[in-house]
Amino acid sequence: MRQKVLRRLLLAFLLCICLKANALEYESYACAFSSNFFELNKLSNKSFDPTENTKQFQRICIQLLKSNFQVSSPKDISKAVENLKNSGDNAIFQNALKLFEANKGKSALDIIKKQCLSVEDASTLFFAETMKDKLRVKDLSAWDNGRIIELYRCAVGAGYIKQEEALTAVKPAVDFLAATYISWEDYFAHYFAGKQLTALYDGRYSSVLEGAKQAYAATKGKINYGEVPLQNSKNIPEKAGILLELAYEPSPSGNQWESVQKLVKSKKILDNRDLTAVQNIKKKFPDVPCIEFLEVEIQFRQKAYRKTLNLCSHLAELIDAAPKDSALFQQIQLTYAKAALKVSKPAIAEKALAKLPESAAKTGEFLETEGRLFAELCGTSSDYDKNEEYKKLANESFKAAEKTGHRLPQDIKDWMKVNGVRS
């Protein structure tokens, strides 16, 4: 009996040691996979908690959670992680790859025109065009999974979650990364590609990569990556210089596109100088909807409504076969309707609004604008029933805007009361 008890105690002791060793192993891998982020932010990679119980570092973790992950309290953690898993940068990259797959033989510019992509989405497409044949692993999972680990380490440092709970939560990400990449340079090369995508629209992709490479060099003096080998390291030979090989460098077309990005990012007041710049860019990229729309916006803001209407008429023809769920397609139709009403052309406004899909995901602001346009159409027809239909559509848009959490201004609430709908 006594021997049986001793055997059980010994088994429990050995199990406890194994569990602790397993936890320490996951901690080492988690720290290594997220080391670049914490080195850049001057936090510790010695343990899973990057603060080393320092109040100043705890404040940094709280700030990093807000600025990098939109996490302001413990209750935000699960939603932020789900966003990274389902709609992170890899999801954006995969959507771009799907467009190339669906449009084989087409250039990025051809697809941008056909799909009615925004300037930002177009930039992503140029990135994907270059990177799709470069990356060994055809995705940016290294980046998104690395960020999940970074989020949980920051959450521990901020005091939002217990370390044991966080280590359990990062296990799937650690297992995936350890099994997918053939070396630490291979992992970081793919991780840096994701990081470059996030800096693409600001034009900082080169400087961001340089900073990340310097941080990696610094961590190699602090972390013995050889003690945490990756599972595929013996099966697939590593290529030399992979960090540079997988770095994003734009194609000639992508390089030209950066002039469009810079204009869109820098403009604060849309004046005649901006108009000249847009018209010059249109010569480089003719009949590209997102560029054509830049001139539409400027002309409308300058109250050149007839010019806006003519530009919208041409633009509507360009995008007639484009996907109706394109955010740019919908914005163009709204602006077309607004310009038409400004010059007393309600029939054109009605036609533009009729092209907006009912099922599309619309923001509260978009729905408010849509409702205002239907409200403006009320009284423009000699047909009583048609005016009532406009009124009904306006009310539906306003109510849908409220359901998104959007706060309607008082003039709309007053309009809804007068027209028989309580806000």
**How many other CB atoms are there within 10 angstroms of residue 283's CB atom?**
7
Domains in the chain with CATH codes: 2-245 (no CATH), 252-418 (1.25.40.10)
The Cα–Cα gap between 247 and 15 comes to: 45
Helices (DSSP H) in 34-140: which residue ranges?
A: 35-40, 55-69, 77-87, 89-102, 108-115, 119-131
Hunting for tokens 């108009």 — which residue is that?
Answer: 275
Q: What is the pLDDT of residue 423?
A: 46
CA dist list (Å): 214 to 7, 61, 144, 184, 219: 52, 21, 21, 15, 9
Contact assessment for residue 307 and residue 299, using Cβ atoms and an 8 Å cutoff: yes
Residue by residue, pLDDT tens for the chain (423 residues) are: 555 544 544 444 333 333 333 555 789 999 999 999 999 999 999 999 999 888 899 999 999 999 999 999 999 999 999 999 999 999 999 999 999 999 999 999 999 999 999 999 999 999 999 999 899 899 999 999 999 999 999 999 999 999 999 999 999 999 999 999 999 999 999 999 999 999 999 899 999 999 999 999 999 989 988 888 887 655 555 555 678 889 999 999 999 999 898 888 876 545 666 888 888 999 999 999 999 999 999 999 999 999 999 999 999 999 999 999 999 999 999 999 999 999 999 999 999 999 998 876 789 999 999 999 999 999 999 999 999 999 999 999 999 999 999 999 999 999 999 986 554
Q: What is the pLDDT of residue 5?
A: 44
- The DSSP secondary structure of 40-65, one letter per residue, reads HTT---SSSSTTTT-HHHHHHHHHHH
Contact residues for 316 (Cβ-Cβ < 8 A; gap 6+): 332, 333, 336, 352
Enter the tokens of residue 112: 């941008």
Contact assessment for residue 84 and residue 92, using Cβ atoms and an 8 Å cutoff: no
Contact assessment for residue 109 and residue 141, using Cβ atoms and an 8 Å cutoff: no
Hunting for tokens 């310009």 — which residue is that?
Answer: 339
Largest CA distance in the chain: 99
The Cα–Cα gap between 119 and 290 comes to: 6
The Cα–Cα gap between 73 and 52 comes to: 21
- Indicate the length of the chain as a whole number: 423
**How many other CB atoms are there within 10 angstroms of residue 100's CB atom?**
17
Contact assessment for residue 93 and residue 99, using Cβ atoms and an 8 Å cutoff: no
The Cα–Cα gap between 123 and 140 comes to: 16
Contact assessment for residue 413 and residue 423, using Cβ atoms and an 8 Å cutoff: yes
- The DSSP secondary structure of 284-305, one letter per residue, reads HSTT-HHHHHHHHHHHHHTT-H
Q: What is the pLDDT of residue 143?
A: 98
Query: Could you give the 3-state DSSP secondary structure of residue 73?
Result: coil
The Cα–Cα gap between 238 and 227 comes to: 17
Tally: H helices and E strands in the chain? 21, 0
**How many other CB atoms are there within 10 angstroms of residue 339's CB atom?**
26
